[in-house]
Structure 1
């Protein structure tokens, strides 16, 4: 695997840290900029919306540029808005920088997925995808706790400076190692790529990705109250539980990198069924601290193994549309990241308790398995009809 892909993964690590680290910085930001904590929480919401909207939009815009130019533009913009965010005394400006950071993040990830898969052999797209997405999982393990620690030691602005600095090595790696055309034989065309995205297989894969990621973030978002109110952990255990989830997610991305290129269907089928069984079991035994600790690792591993494989399958399903494929994959997974917590919040607000988001996670995975089975059945029927007609 070329070194540049791991350095692109470092940039993805910085971007994942930026997206997730505010959970530990919101009280300090609110106090410093004289807004309420709920108002400060809008910094997270606008980032999510920017990712969903920005991924396909900026993927289309980037088709006019070389991959090197697109990656540099998005990454330098990401660095600059974090510098502005670290310096500004205005909440309004900080909010604007979060929107711009999300757009830059979405554009960078869409182009990076496409560029990385062009820099490796055609049959190694899964490995390249896992190397990039490993940056997101490492953000869960190390980036978010490090951001919180920096905030405690030197204030929330130091975390923004750190994200900007960590991104800089990738700028030099792109200048040095990403070819201007990244190995393309055909000039990218938005119309041609959009036509390729109409394929039923790709649309189904995007739907499955949104559902699986929705399940993951539904449970993850409400992990802290589940751990303290149901499993009996003290609040001091929550950072460790989050780290366990992050380690599991890294293990899942690593597993996907080894199997997604050679055995994607068995991984998706077995992993999906195990994921459904695991969420259901988790809901039943969540009162046990030991079971919670074990299943948290297992479910994170399965969730990210299946999710990463689905992203690589998007790129395999639309080889003529790598950039827009990456953009729509990014958007679909962020739709899931927004949908899951929203559904979890609804069932909690309905008085069903903190186990209920886990049942929602199980339902979302069940829906994904059902959609996948129906799509496979339709494909077989279509092939049978086509064979008979021939």
Structure 2
């Protein structure tokens, strides 16, 4: 295959993975952006609303961990069909059936399952379809879907939500899920025509698994960092308003922070493709920058919110794609199993961060909570470096059957992680 078609195919895979990830991650941000209208319509308070969002992430975490082995054995078409089907069902139920708190909880469970399926599908596409020299960029683009979902959730309020009500935004996600299902059917039909012998052989050959202890440490690290980062995303605007920013200024702050996070995630992935490993130290550094940003947010001044808020949001939350890329490479023949542990940690942090740290900010105030969030970031960076040492030791003890690929060369330098 010539370089131009190969680049075009890689770009298509990245676009599909990013779109599927955005679709799965969108529901809690749609809820958050339309919180006032939804709570008024369904008749419950802010605490119950927070439980609904946390339940979404908790369901995704449990589903990701419990199905990782199965994901490695499913075809791309079947994964896409499953992801699209669950998202479609959740969007349809949200737009037609939700009438109170309990029904909202049930639908958020379904949407959490859809998010887990979307993330697993996208991670599998990245790890098994992209050429090795483009996977870092691919994971960077794919993980840019979360800040993109935040932006889209905000845009839904003055557009679709204002014209037809909050339920109409979930009609849109339902329709997008149908599009994903149609694309999956096309993939399945094409795969059936070509036969699946090669895929079956590769599935039977899944022999090597990632080492457990460093994977657990990396998952714990992303749980802590994700809790802190999601707290920044959820409460930086509230803190800005408290210290003197206007609602419009806090909106600009979140939009610029989201844009910066997207840009740095993509750049970090691109750089990973041009580096011989050593990705996890970069992840740790980005987390420590997040700690610095949170410490700076303790300053009760508008300028500090601008400077340190953007620092924490754009650089301090730029590590998800790079971390997923690094761990998926070290997943040997089970990249979905390796990335599932990291993805589950991110979901757990998404469930715990706004709930636990949000409650702490209400009880002890924002400055104390910013200090705790900084501690979460700092500890997460230390755990990443510890997991790197253990990953490196495992590489030396169990050299991979196929050397890692960097661009056009195949080498396995001892500093790979």
- Asked whether the 8 Å contact 1:78–1:104 carries over to 2, the reply is yes
- Report matched runs for 1:147-186 at 5 Å: 147-149=156-158, 150-176=160-186, 180=191, 184=199, 186=201
TM-score, normalised by the number of residues in structure 1: 0.85
Aligned length: 379
- Asked whether the 8 Å contact 2:136–2:322 carries over to 1, the reply is yes
* Map of 1:221 onto structure 2: 234
* Map of 2:306 onto structure 1: 293
* Map of 1:130 onto structure 2: 140
* Map of 2:368 onto structure 1: 356
Q: Does 1:282 align with 2:297?
A: yes
For the residue of structure 2 that corresponds to 1:283, the secondary structure is coil
- Alpha carbons of structure 1 residues 126 and 175: separation in structure 2 relative to 1, 3 Å: farther
Matched residues in 2 for 1:365 and 1:19: separation? Answer: 23
For the residue of structure 2 that corresponds to 1:222, the secondary structure is helix
- Asked whether the 8 Å contact 1:249–1:301 carries over to 2, the reply is yes
- Alpha carbons of structure 1 residues 207 and 305: separation in structure 2 relative to 1, 3 Å: same
Q: CA offset at residue 185 of structure 1?
A: 6.9
* Map of 1:212 onto structure 2: 225
Matched residues in 2 for 1:11 and 1:384: separation? Answer: 36
- Alpha carbons of structure 1 residues 222 and 169: separation in structure 2 relative to 1, 3 Å: same
Q: Does 1:308 align with 2:331?
A: no
Q: Does 1:97 align with 2:107?
A: yes
Matched residues in 2 for 1:161 and 1:64: separation? Answer: 32
TM-score, normalised by the number of residues in structure 2: 0.80
- Asked whether the 8 Å contact 2:215–2:341 carries over to 1, the reply is no
Q: Does 1:199 align with 2:209?
A: no
| Partner of residue 259 from structure 1, selected from 234, 258, 271 | 271
Matched residues in 1 for 2:355 and 2:49: separation? Answer: 18
RMSD across aligned positions (CA): 3.2
- Alpha carbons of structure 1 residues 37 and 356: separation in structure 2 relative to 1, 3 Å: closer
For the residue of structure 2 that corresponds to 1:320, the secondary structure is coil
Q: CA offset at residue 60 of structure 1?
A: 3.6
Between 269-278 and 297-306, the greater mean CA deviation after superposition: 269-278
* Map of 1:139 onto structure 2: 149
Question: 1:146-184: per-residue Cα shift (whole Å, max 9, x none)?
Answer: 222232332111111122233444444444468756985
Q: CA offset at residue 30 of structure 1?
A: 3.2
- Alpha carbons of structure 1 residues 265 and 338: separation in structure 2 relative to 1, 3 Å: same
Q: CA offset at residue 187 of structure 1?
A: 4.6
Q: CA offset at residue 131 of structure 1?
A: 2.1
Question: 1:32-78: per-residue Cα shift (whole Å, max 9, x none)?
Answer: 33444543444323212211111122334445532211221221221
- Asked whether the 8 Å contact 2:218–2:383 carries over to 1, the reply is no
Between 112-121 and 335-344, the greater mean CA deviation after superposition: 335-344
Unaligned runs of 5+ in 2: 1-9, 399-417
Between 219-228 and 165-174, the greater mean CA deviation after superposition: 165-174
Q: CA offset at residue 337 of structure 1?
A: 1.8
Between 146-155 and 95-104, the greater mean CA deviation after superposition: 146-155
Question: 1:215-253: per-residue Cα shift (whole Å, max 9, x none)?
Answer: 2112222213211113x1123433222212211221222
Q: CA offset at residue 20 of structure 1?
A: 1.4
